[in-house]
Amino acid sequence: MLRLGLAGFGTVGSGLAKILHENRDIILARTGRDIRIKTILVRDLTKKRAVDTAPEVQFTTNPDDLVNDPDIDVVVELMGGVDTARTLITKALNAGKHVVTANKHLLALHGPELSTLAAQKNLGLYYEASVAGGIPIVQTLRESLGANRIERLVGIMNGTANYILSEMTTNHLDFATALKQAQDLGYAEADPTFDIEGLDTAHKLVVLTRLAYGKDFPLDKVPVRGITQVTQLDIEFAREFGYRIKLLAQVREVDGKIEASVEPTLVKYTYLLARVGGNFNAVRVEGNAVGPIMLHGQGAGDTPTGSAVVADIMALCRVLATPGAQFDNTGFRASNPENKPLPQAEILPADESVAMHYFRFTVADRPGVMAAIAKAMAEHGISIAQAVQKGDESGADVPIVFLTHKAKAKAVAETIREIDATSFAVRPTVHFPIL
Ligand code: NAP
Ligand code: HSE
């Protein structure tokens, strides 16, 4: 028997309980352990729950009922938030309990500290569900691609944002309606700002960067832009050029320096990443031995995420079944016998990042404007690949869209600053990188 203390019984907690109940036989066959929930921590004891629990399961509002119970082997943290979750996990590890969590926000901020504590106690700290819901990307980076240097990782890692962009692109839904639907389906964070402003994706990118490179890339150093500035107009222009707009997380190693970003990005419609729809996520990893691989699956929701949580509990059971085994929660424990926090990554300055770009200028429709923009771009070394201007007889303000060849982020920023200061610029310029 393995007894769980479950903190949180919302979307993911319910998914976990459902899987443990419905797939009990297969889980038992694979682990040899009967995994049971003993106690569930919630805020509101009177709330009606989405899933029934066995009569012996106790509900509580006191976190100490999980931490101080000697019968509980594993604390499964599915509450979200940072401070309460951090305190609970710290207390659980100090009490000798293994921890499974889906909390990427907490891990992005305090992962190294919690991993260090877990390693000092030789306890499991598992977090497969924290990135890309049901997709096994944590296990893949830590174990399956362990023989590779990771050259690049590109991912769609927020189900809510991808659902909104997909609905805006395919069904021409407006932003607010699509967001409401994603919330009703249980994909969104308690505060959906994290989803739509790219912060949740950044949390996940920080977690994956540690697994890929064994280095810590501080969250506040990740350049982040969300999807609130993506309009129907940009989606249509991108489509005209043969692209879809996706919220992409990217990290790569350039001459020993690590470059990371989260931004709406144009992706050629023929690429697999462009075809990832709804709440699905996808992560493409380029390893120097394996080449490119891609994982695709549901990145949010009750049982997809619950599947990853149960997989972690089962992985924990396998280590527990091996006497004397050590838990390697970071994938780099062997090179860190003193259990120090991961070293900081050397960061490539965002200004030096190089990519092709999409620009949409909104300008007065008068002679010389197109030429002036092209001149400014040329002066900053930006070479135009394609262009379109959609004026009409009215002579009203007009969008001009350019797709460029590769250019440095610094040149892009300076060009936009210069154009936006001219008398012909009517609205701030919109720009996105192109994958
Ligand atoms: P949720 O539906 O809002 O459920 C949160 C649960 O935690 C609720 O049962 C709530 O109790 C309980 N809770 C919250 N704060 C608490 C506190 N201070 N003390 C005691 N109980 C507390 O959240 P969720 O969507 O399941 O997400 C849980 C975690 O999984 C988050 O870290 C989230 O980022 C992560 N995650 C979610 C998804 C997804 O698809 N939803 C996917 C991957 C990862 P009450 O029910 O009484 O209010
Ligand atoms: N809110 C997150 C998303 C949940 O939409 O992807 C999964 O981490």
pLDDT band at 339 (very low <50, low <70, confident <90, very high): confident
User: What does pTM read for this prediction?
Assistant: 0.96
Express each pLDDT in 56-72 by its tens digit.
999 999 999 999 999 99
State the fold for domain 145-297. Answer: Dihydrodipicolinate Reductase; domain 2 (3.30.360)
Which of 320, 283, 299, 307 has the alpha carbon at shortest distance from 144? Answer: 283
Sequence-separated contacts (24+) of 363-369 with Cβ below 8 Å:
363/397, 363/398, 363/400, 363/424, 363/425, 363/426, 364/397, 364/398, 364/423, 364/424, 364/426, 365/391, 365/395, 365/396, 365/397, 365/398, 366/395, 366/424, 369/400, 369/424
Q: Residues 29-57: what's their mean pLDDT?
A: 97
pLDDT band at 392 (very low <50, low <70, confident <90, very high): confident
Which residues have CB under 8 Å from 305's CB, separation 6+? Answer: 11, 12, 15, 102, 129, 133, 134
Express each pLDDT in 174-198 by its tens digit.
999 999 999 999 999 999 999 999 9
State the fold for domain 2-133+302-335. Answer: Rossmann fold (3.40.50)
Q: What phi and psi, each to the nearest 5 degrees, are found at residue 353?
A: -65, 140
- pLDDT > 90? residue 149: yes
- HSE-CB for 366 with a 13 A CA cutoff: 6
Which is the catalytic residue, given 38, 104, 204, 246? 204
* Other beta carbons less than 10 A from residue 10's beta carbon: 18
Q: Is 180 a catalytic residue?
A: no
Look at ligand 1, atom 21, and give the residue with the nearest C-alpha.
Answer: 42
Mean pLDDT of all residues belonging to the chain = 96
- State the closest ligand 1 atom to the C-alpha of 49, by its place in the atom list counted from 1: 46
Q: CA 200, CA 196: separation in Å to the nearest integer?
A: 8
Instruction: Please report, for the chain, the start and end positions of each structural domain, with discontinuous segments joined by +.
Output: 2-133+302-335, 145-297, 350-434
How close is the Cα of 49 to the center of ligand 2, in Å? 21
- pLDDT > 90? residue 381: yes
> Mutation test of ligand 2: which of 138, 160, 183 has the most ligand atoms closer than 8 Å to its C-beta?
160
The three-state secondary structure class of 102 is coil
How close is the Cα of 313 to the center of ligand 1, in Å? 18
Q: How far apart are the first and last CA of the chain?
A: 49
The three-state secondary structure class of 113 is helix
Express each pLDDT in 207-223 by its tens digit.
999 999 999 999 999 99
How many whole angstroms from its chain centre is CA 29?
32
Beta bridge partners of 262: 224, 249
- 350-434: CATH number: 3.30.70.260
Matching residue, tokens 């932003």:
175
For helices 175-184 and 159-170, the axis angle rounded to 10 degrees is 130
